[in-house]
Structure 1
């Protein structure tokens, strides 16, 4: 197994609030306003703050501060921003649910970002940073796009957090610019798509663990903007 050995940094990045504070304090990337809540009163105050900052029509979302795969994620609505999809939860109902609990794990309240996520698969090597930005166009099409601003953001974050082995940076557009969402200190599920342009992250992790020489320059020289499609087909078994 290959894992990052920087325990202190892992603890920071495991918390959405702490990781966003770290990114903001070190001026690595714009960060959306986020409120950490620990009781029902905090929630209603945080909800009002987000609405005031981003406008009454902007949706608000809530999720556990320490979460994996968005399991606890909920999008909220109120009378000023009515329900638009089945996963929405009425703000007042969510507040009443929190009041009914004796206690709950810390949560973050922040603006809902509805534009497509950019996920940057990264790995530091002795020869430099390998960074592959990808963005889902739809459920079956992903764009690998080596935008200079995305690569520079990945570089700045990589130098600051100093993670060993492959990891993943998540960004989303907000008000015309990409903002930081979180870092997964592991390979993302979609990193295999970089293999189509000569970057096999699982193999690179194994090579790094065994001390093999990684030709970073050669790998990066093969990078190009491409669209990756996934096709499902019936087979006889």
Structure 2
């Protein structure tokens, strides 16, 4: 396989802190790595050998214009955007015309579909994985009706915004107030009465009400190119670390997701078990906050993505995923075999 002889210049734009781990993993790669952020002290900039400071407050087409100009000025060959990722997808041809490959996970419509969890669940193919029972509400009256619709003996309900990241707004509902979980520091429980009081306090976004799945929770970190899965790492979450599991069924689900949504990039999906069967919760067309744990399984997600984008990837010699590891955070990520 022939490869380009130059070192492509790659820019990671403003993104979440997990991007720092991706950048550090490219230290010995054939790429000239740059990072940009509006905060000059952000970890992304500390991790990258070359940096730019983004102007504050730019949104939408103004941000697109700034990025186009920056790419032309610095000669970036590839850009992996964080900020305005969905909007930028509509400008891939514009960037390509000036010599920059914009690496986004999907077109704008697909990314927005995945971000809107109600739309995603409504259109989900349950032949891939089942989903819990769910509905939506936008008022206290609708909340009451949704609770009546989904209430079932032995099943707790939970709620969360249809759009959100990192469990923002997620709460498991209890029928009665209970002081004990509060005193134990369990922040994600809320009584139905307290929920009703909160929901009445202002205008609501679209909210989801769902059956709470009580089994094991997993996060599956994936990288794909043009709808073809490159690698997937399955993490089972626990109280004292996360276990990298050998789960061919969930890797197969990852491959079907990548193909169904024609994904090109790092993405993640979340599952929870019910009666021993994994159920789909959500797909995020971005790197998860726990990606660094999956990297400990021997998968350099950013390198695989860049190699695929530049035609350097050897699909017949992909790195093995090391399973059976327990991974935890202790002065950095560490992994060990039980």
TM-score (norm. length: structure 1): 0.84
Q: Among 206, 221, 225, which residue is 1:121 paired with?
A: 221
Q: 1:160 to 1:152 in 2, by over 3 A?
A: same
The answer to whether the Cα contact below 8 Å between 2:268 and 2:284 also exists between their aligned partners in 1 is: yes
Q: 1:198 to 1:212 in 2, by over 3 A?
A: farther
Question: 1-side partners of 2:190 and 2:254: how far apart?
Answer: 34
Name the residue aligned to 2:281: 181
The answer to whether the Cα contact below 8 Å between 2:117 and 2:162 also exists between their aligned partners in 1 is: yes
Unaligned stretches of 5+ residues in structure 1: none
Q: Does 1:196 align with 2:292?
A: no
Q: Does 1:34 align with 2:134?
A: yes
Question: 2-side partners of 1:111 and 1:181: how far apart?
Answer: 11
Name the residue aligned to 1:14: 115
The answer to whether the Cα contact below 8 Å between 1:198 and 1:219 also exists between their aligned partners in 2 is: no
Name the residue aligned to 1:215: 314
Deviation at 1:181, TM superposition (A): 0.6
Question: 1-side partners of 2:175 and 2:108: how far apart?
Answer: 40
Name the residue aligned to 2:6: none
Q: Give runs of aligned pairs for residues 106-117 of structure 1, distance below 5 A.
A: 106-117=206-217
Name the residue aligned to 2:253: 153
Q: 1:231 to 1:161 in 2, by over 3 A?
A: closer
The answer to whether the Cα contact below 8 Å between 1:193 and 1:228 also exists between their aligned partners in 2 is: no
The answer to whether the Cα contact below 8 Å between 1:65 and 1:106 also exists between their aligned partners in 2 is: yes
Q: 1:94 to 1:190 in 2, by over 3 A?
A: closer
Q: 1:128 to 1:153 in 2, by over 3 A?
A: closer
Q: Among 50, 58, 62, which residue is 2:159 paired with?
A: 62
Deviation at 1:8, TM superposition (A): 0.9
Q: 1:174 to 1:204 in 2, by over 3 A?
A: same
Name the residue aligned to 1:47: 147
Unaligned stretches of 5+ residues in structure 2: 1-78, 81-103, 332-338
Q: Which has the larger radius of gyration?
A: 2
Q: 1:82 to 1:112 in 2, by over 3 A?
A: farther
Once the two structures are superposed, residues 5-53 of structure 1 have per-residue CA deviations (whole angstroms, 9 ceiling, x without a partner) of 41111111001111112224x632101111111111110111122213x
Once the two structures are superposed, residues 151-175 of structure 1 have per-residue CA deviations (whole angstroms, 9 ceiling, x without a partner) of 1211222211111111001111023
Deviation at 1:82, TM superposition (A): 5.8
Q: 1:177 to 1:128 in 2, by over 3 A?
A: closer
Deviation at 1:183, TM superposition (A): 0.8
Where 2:313 maps in the other structure, the secondary structure is: coil
Higher relative contact order (CA 8 A, sep 6+): 1
Q: Does 1:228 align with 2:326?
A: yes
Q: Does 1:138 align with 2:239?
A: yes
Once the two structures are superposed, residues 114-164 of structure 1 have per-residue CA deviations (whole angstroms, 9 ceiling, x without a partner) of 33321111122377531111112333x221112121112112222111111
The answer to whether the Cα contact below 8 Å between 1:125 and 1:214 also exists between their aligned partners in 2 is: no
Name the residue aligned to 1:85: 181
Question: 1-side partners of 2:294 and 2:195: how far apart?
Answer: 40
Q: 1:84 to 1:7 in 2, by over 3 A?
A: farther
